[in-house]
Copies of this chain bind each other. A is one copy, B any other.
Amino acid sequence: MAKIQDVAKLAGVSTATVSRVLNNPESVKNETSRRVMSAIKSLDYTPNRVAKSLSSKAQDITVGVIFPDIATFYFAELYKGMSREARENNINILLHELEEGANAREETLMNALHFLKKSNVSGILLSSRYIPKEYDQAIKRLGIPLVMVLSSHEAGSIPAFKIDDKRAAFDSVAYLVSRGHQRIGIISAITNNHNSGELRHQGFLQGIQYYNLPLSPEQIVYGKMRYDDGYKAMTELLSNHHKTKITAVFAATDEMAIGAIRCVIDSGLKVPEDISIIGYDNLSISDMTIPKLTTISQPFYEIGKESMKHMIEIIKEPDKGQKSGNHFLAYQLVERESVKELT
């Protein structure tokens, strides 16, 4: 590997001049510049990045991203948003997947945090479901700015980018009511302490209350966000159907909604003719299901982009102080085929 000295020698100039040709060409005479360039070419010289950043003190910034499972359907959109913003600002992303250990989730989060710290990231975008309060201190001690994505910090001291889950769930109920539904079941999301699931649950309850709808315990069922959970949950809901007579179901995630649809169909009923289902997320696959899913659309791309944007601001102007608390982005209810209008 050729270094700057080699180039300098070959071109018959000093290393300073070579450096200038590369970084400040106007300050070098054309003739000299040409000689240097040809030396660079013939030696196939590329400046050593490490030496460059050590000397210029302008190390390239990299932001760490912690995500529990890359295979989550919305991950790609979220990441695209982050990635786009990062690229525009010449910032690298170090993606760290939190291993889906059955146990040891806590251990792993702290590990991830430390791993990223060691990798010298300037900030961390955290999309974990589980942030126990015990971590608060440790996080503060890290000394690296954090931004939460899609989930919020209980204490609220860490800025978070997401949609207003409570409101969106409420809107879902309102929508179902507007289509004539009164008896509504819910497949709620349980997620290791992650509060989004809970917020959606609360919003749902508020809707029920607001519209004065009936609600028996048999109408409430829980799952862990995934397809299989939705399927199982729906089985339970159906087993009480004769009693609850629900005409619609609010599923707290699209994946569960899709599982629920499958379950309904397996049991010989039809969606939406016999049971309407509304989801939450608007995954790309929710447009491919039969029937197509009516759902709350989360702006994953924007959430990713905005959270990264905010992170960059924090990094570049640390004194400015990060705006903590929730940053809500706009969501939409997308009408498709899985909710029937009752007459």
Pair B50/A54 contact, Cβ less than 8 Å: yes
The residue of chain B having its C-beta at the shortest distance from the C-beta of A265 within the complex is B290
Q: Residues of B contacting A290 with CB < 8 Å?
A: 261-262, 265, 289-290
Q: Would you call A171 an interface residue if the criterion is a C-beta within 8 Å of the partner chain's C-beta atoms?
A: no
User: Which residues of B are found within 8 Å of A50, using beta-carbon distances?
Assistant: 50, 53-54, 59
Stretch at the interface among A73-81, A131-139, A184-192: A73-81
Q: Which residues of A does B touch, CB under 8 Å?
A: 44, 46, 48-51, 53-54, 59, 70-72, 75-77, 79-80, 83, 92-95, 97, 117, 119-120, 143, 227, 258-259, 261-262, 265, 284-285, 287-290
Contacts of A44 in B (CB 8 A): 143
Q: Closest B-chain residue to A59, C-beta based?
A: B50
Q: Within 8 Å CB of A54, what residues of B?
A: 48, 50-51, 54
Instruction: Give which listed residue, B70, B80, B285, contacts A97 with CB less than 8 A.
Output: B80
**A94 cross-chain contacts in B, Cβ below 8 A:** 92
Interface centre among A83, A259, A288, A290 (most CB of B within 10 A): A288
Contact B71 A284 (CB under 8 A): yes
Quote the shortest CB–CB distance from A330 to chain B (angstroms): 21
Q: How far is the CB of A308 from chain B (nearest CB, A)?
A: 14
The answer to whether residues A49 and B120 also contact, given A97-B80, A290-B290 and a CB cut-off of 8 A, is: yes
Which residue of B is nearest A80, CB measured? B70
Knowing A50-B54, A50-B59, A288-B262, say if A76 contacts B83 (CB, 8 Å). Answer: no
A117 to B, closest residue via Cβ: B46
A76 contact from B53, B71, B261, B262, Cβ within 8 A: B71
Please report the C-alpha to C-alpha distance between residue A54 and residue B95 in the assembled complex, in whole angstroms.
24
User: Which residue on chain B has the smallest CB distance to residue A51?
Assistant: B54
A279→B50 CA distance, assembly (Å): 48
Pair B259/A288 contact, Cβ less than 8 Å: yes
Task: Give chain B residues whose Cβ lies under 8 Å from the Cβ of A119.
Answer: 49, 92
A77 touches B71 (CB 8 A): yes
A69 to chain B, nearest CB (A): 8
Q: Are A288 and B80 in contact (CB under 8 A)?
A: no
- Name the CB-closest residue of B to A72: B76
Compute how far the CA of A117 lies from the CA of B75 in the bound complex, rounded to whole angstroms.
27
Q: Which of B76, B95, B261 contacts A93 (CB 8 A)?
A: B95
For the complex, what is the distance from the CA of A11 to the CA of B79, rounded to whole Å?
A: 45
Tell me the complex Cα distance, A49–B50, Å: 9
Alpha-carbon distance between A75 and B80 when the two chains are bound, in angstroms: 13
Question: In the assembly, what is the distance between CA of A119 and CA of B120, in Å?
Answer: 16
For the complex, give the distance between the alpha carbons of A85 and B75 in Å. Answer: 21
List of B residues within 8 angstroms of A288 by Cβ: 227, 258-259, 262, 285, 289
Jot down 17 A-B pairs with beta carbons below 8 A, ordered by A.
A48-B54, A70-B80, A70-B83, A72-B76, A80-B97, A92-B119, A93-B95, A95-B95, A227-B287, A258-B288, A259-B288, A261-B290, A262-B288, A262-B290, A285-B285, A288-B289, A290-B290
